[in-house]
Structure 1
Amino acid sequence: MKKLITAAAMAATFVAAGCATPAVQLTPTLDTLQAFRTATIPPMGLGEFGLAPGRPPGMDRSLLVRADSLRPPNGGSFAQFLKETLQTEMTAAGRFDPASTVVISGQLTVSEISTMSVPNAALGARFQVRRSGVLVFDKELVVRDSWQYQFIGAIAIPEAQERYTALYSKLVRTLVTDADFRLAVAAK
């Protein structure tokens, strides 16, 4: 009987895991809010965000997490999700101004999840900042996370998805705390 229950539980896990899960929209994070507020960063606008040249188009639309797939929220792209996360964080910090002459754009360069022996996730983007149309910042930033392996898919899949999604705020915070970025956007 115990083997039957275990087999049924495993089958239910595989069936439940076989669907597409949208990434959860993030709320502003306290750490990123503080990073914005402690820096001399003027209000900025946002330009185009898309997939970096030469990257496979699928990496912007879906990530395989065992038998499940993680998709960007609202049917968009991961690059647009990065833009939305940046806008959410900037707005919360009072640093978003669509009419600003300082504009951030970005290209998604890394988007990965693995739940194998050493579960990990990575997210990267090449950010560019233009001031009155002049390029003043161009740099790729990558953030990573790793965690303890879980055999059971019902635990491993949601954890991997949550860890990957949290990298969006972490990447924004990495941008905001980057010394070159701060120098490039400082009021002149």
Structure 2
Amino acid sequence: MHSPTKLAMLVPLALLTACSVVATPYSPSVDNIQTLKGVSPLHARIGNFTSQDGSNNHYPVPVRANLMRSPVGDSFAAYLSNAVTQELMIAGDLAPSASVVLDGVLLENNVDAGLDKGIGTISARFVVKRDDVVRYDQIKTVSGEWDSAFAAAIAVPKATGQYPLVVQKLLASLYADPAFISAIR
């Protein structure tokens, strides 16, 4: 017989058994870098990237019974900032003294390592300012899908490995926006 008291004591114990996993470090996308190089010259510096708390934006990110943490800083906003920094730097567009500043707010960050299909969704607001005047303020949202598995030992590593690809897709949608390119020129 299970009493509510016994059940209430087991729930915190079950939560303590959740494992912590780290998302795969970001690897810059060749396509994203080519897009940036194709519209050069661009000169921007990275400003503040933050996370907006919400029901679809937790830190760490739950992935089944695991908690996925960022390998950069202590948030996925830092992960996103690092990803943008890497790609701008490789494309030759990062200029620490530029008057153009790119800020970001991570609005949604979900990873669902489903039994058959995994889905990752990321939404972020990107703001470009030149000399403190807002020239661009848009929200970009993307989803990525991959094959998953019933077994968590397969599904969770697959989800953490797919996460950077969803971030690449988010940045690709940003760089493909002519208004963004115009704002950072």
Shift of 1:33: 0.9
Aligned counterpart, 1:6: none
Q: CA 1:182–1:166 in 2, change beyond 3 Å: closer, same or farther?
A: same
Helix, strand or coil: the match of 1:113? Answer: strand
Q: Determine if contact 2:57/2:108 at 8 Å carries over to the other structure.
A: no
Distance 1:144 1:71 in 2: 19
**Is 1:84 the equivalent of 2:100?**
no
Cα–Cα, structure 1 residues 178 and 55, in superposed 2: closer, same or farther, change >3 Å?
same
Aligned to 2:10: none
How big is the alpha-carbon RMSD for the aligned residues of Structure 1 and Structure 2?
A: 2.0
Q: Quote the Cα distance in structure 1 between the aligned partners of 2:143 and 2:41.
A: 25
C-alpha contact 1:41 1:185 (8 A) present in aligned 2: no
Matched with 2:122 is 123
Partner residue, 1:101:
99
> Are positions 1:111 and 2:117 aligned together?
no
The amino acid that maps onto 2:37 is R
Cα distance in 2 between the residues matched to 1:30 and 1:145: 18
Contact 2:22 2:160 (C-alpha < 8 Å) held by counterparts:
no
| Residue 71 in structure 1 maps to residue 73 in structure 2 | no
Moved more, 171-180 or 90-99: 171-180
- The percentage of counterpart residues that share the same residue type is 28
Give, in angstroms, the shift of residue 183 of structure 1.
2.1
1:36 to partner: Cα distance? 0.5
**What is the identity, as a one-letter code, of the residue corresponding to 1:90?**
L
Distance in 1 between the 2:110 and 2:132 partners? 32
Q: Residue 141 of structure 1 contacts residue 174 of structure 1 at CA under 8 Å; is this kept in 2?
A: yes
- State the one-letter code of the partner of 1:43: H
Q: Which runs of 5+ in 1 are unaligned?
A: 1-16
CA–CA separation in structure 2 for the residues paired with 1:41 and 1:144? 30
What's the offset of the Cα at 1:18? 4.0
Which structure shows the bigger proportion of residues in helix conformation? 1
Moved more, 125-134 or 70-79: 70-79
Determine the structure 2 residue equivalent to 1:50: 50
* Structure 2 unmatched ranges of 5 or more: 1-16
String of CA shifts for 1:63-117, please: whole Å, max 9, x gaps.
Answer: 1111211101145110111001100111111111111001100000110011225
8 A contact 2:56–2:109 mirrored in 1: no
8 Å Cα contact 2:136-2:180 kept in structure 1: yes
Contact 1:40–1:182, Cα closer than 8 Å, also in 2? no
Q: Tell me which residue corresponds to 2:30.
A: 30
Please give the secondary structure, in 2, of the residue aligned with 1:125: strand
**Which residue is 1:134 aligned to?**
133
| CA displacement at 1:58 relative to structure 2 | 6.5
Which residues of 2 match residues 145-164 of structure 1 at below 5 A? 145-164=144-163
Is residue 44–residue 99 contact of structure 2 (8 Å, CA) maintained in 1? yes
8 Å contact kept, 1:104–1:127: yes
Q: State the secondary structure of the residue aligned to 1:147.
A: strand
